[in-house]
């Protein structure tokens, strides 16, 4: 949606207010200012009918709210898994020592690229960083080089990394890739636009029903529309503020990754 181009917390609030204002004004105009619903004066709708579109709208908002909370939970889990995988890579000793030093450099490069690019206020984990991907590939390649050096028959290092430790490192790198992929997939929200269009259209139908039920009295209909549109605005706000776990209200903070980077730079990763 257009409001996602802005970073301020007011952007989704103002956008949803504009939606609801447009829905309310359109509904009032169509019902009370045109002849489309004039026949309802002589043959009014049964009042309980207004509950049907409102219930369907509530179901859609409930579905989108559930998705928003689920996205936030998955994003938090991905952040924990990503930081845990990095910590495991750093805490497993590697031999010969030059491979461990290279591994630490690649991890540091990965963290710097992720925090500077993917977690930045510009991208919000919506796109991947090529530098971070290259650092991750080099990290994995470094492990295989270490394994090859220890398996060669000539010029074999005197001390090598235990095969069990190598398996643990490879698994941690795989977990790191999966966590990063999950984080980036949650940051990409283009598929939500269709749901928003459906929600706005269903909200318009529900508002038209509210106004149509009160066709015989414009003032009563206007009051009902104002109350309904205010309720719809609150529902829209709750979903828009939490649908993306990396933007708006209560967005996740990459503090665990930043702490690991600071520890790594200070030289106390063990």
Asked whether the predicted pLDDT for residue 5 surpasses 60, the reply is no
Residue 265 to residue 270: CA distance in whole angstroms: 12
The predicted-structure confidence for 178-194, as pLDDT tens digits, reads as follows 999 999 998 876 656 78
User: What pLDDT is attached to residue 221?
Assistant: 93
User: What pLDDT is attached to residue 270?
Assistant: 55
H-run or E-run covering 131: helix 130-151
The predicted-structure confidence for 245-266, as pLDDT tens digits, reads as follows 888 777 899 999 999 999 998 8
Assign 156 to helix, strand or coil: coil
Residue 136 to residue 142: CA distance in whole angstroms: 10
User: What pLDDT is attached to residue 190?
Assistant: 61
Domain map of the chain by residue range?
Answer: 2-34+49-266
Asked whether the predicted pLDDT for residue 226 surpasses 90, the reply is yes
The predicted-structure confidence for 134-169, as pLDDT tens digits, reads as follows 999 999 999 999 888 887 756 666 678 888 999 999
Assign 44 to helix, strand or coil: coil
Instruction: Quote the mean pLDDT of the chain.
Output: 88
Q: What is the pTM of this model?
A: 0.81
The predicted-structure confidence for 105-126, as pLDDT tens digits, reads as follows 999 999 999 999 999 878 888 8
Residue 39 to residue 186: CA distance in whole angstroms: 49
The predicted-structure confidence for 25-64, as pLDDT tens digits, reads as follows 999 999 999 998 888 888 888 877 778 888 999 999 999 8
Residue 119 to residue 172: CA distance in whole angstroms: 21
b (16+ CB within 10 A) / e for 137-167: ebbbebbeebbebbeeeeeeeeebbeeeebe
User: What pLDDT is attached to residue 52?
Assistant: 86
């Amino acid at each position: 949606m257009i409001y996602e181009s802005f970073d301020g917390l007011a952007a989704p609030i103002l956008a949803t207010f504009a939606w609801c204002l447009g829905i309310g004004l359109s509904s009032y105009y169509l019902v009370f200012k045109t002849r489309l619903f004039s026949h309802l004066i002589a043959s009014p709708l049964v009042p309980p009918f207004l509950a049907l579109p409102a219930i369907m709208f509530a179901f859609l908002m409930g579905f989108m709210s559930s998705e928003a909370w689920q996205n936030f939970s998955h994003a938090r889990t991905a952040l924990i898994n990503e930081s845990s995988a990095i910590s495991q890579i750093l805490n497993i000793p590697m031999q010969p020592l030059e491979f461990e030093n290279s591994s630490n450099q690649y991890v540091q490069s990965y963290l710097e690229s992720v925090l500077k690019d993917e977690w930045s206020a510009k991208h919000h984990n919506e796109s991947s960083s090529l530098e971070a991907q290259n650092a991750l590939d080099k990290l994995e390649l470094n492990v295989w080089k270490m394994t090859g050096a220890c398996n060669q028959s000539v010029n074999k290092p005197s001390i090598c990394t235990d095969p069990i430790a190598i398996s643990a490192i490879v698994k941690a790198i795989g977990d790191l890739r999966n966590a990063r992929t999950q984080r980036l997939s949650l940051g990409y929200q283009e598929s939500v636009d269709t749901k928003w269009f459906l929600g706005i259209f269903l909200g318009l139908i529900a508002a038209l029903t509210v106004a149509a039920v009160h066709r015989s009295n414009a003032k009563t209909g206007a009051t009902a529309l104002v109350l309904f549109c205010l309720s719809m605005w609150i529902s829209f706000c709750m979903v828009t503020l939490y649908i993306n776990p990396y933007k708006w209200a209560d967005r996740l903070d990459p503090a665990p990754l930043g702490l690991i980077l600071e520890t790594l730079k200070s030289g106390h990763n063990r």
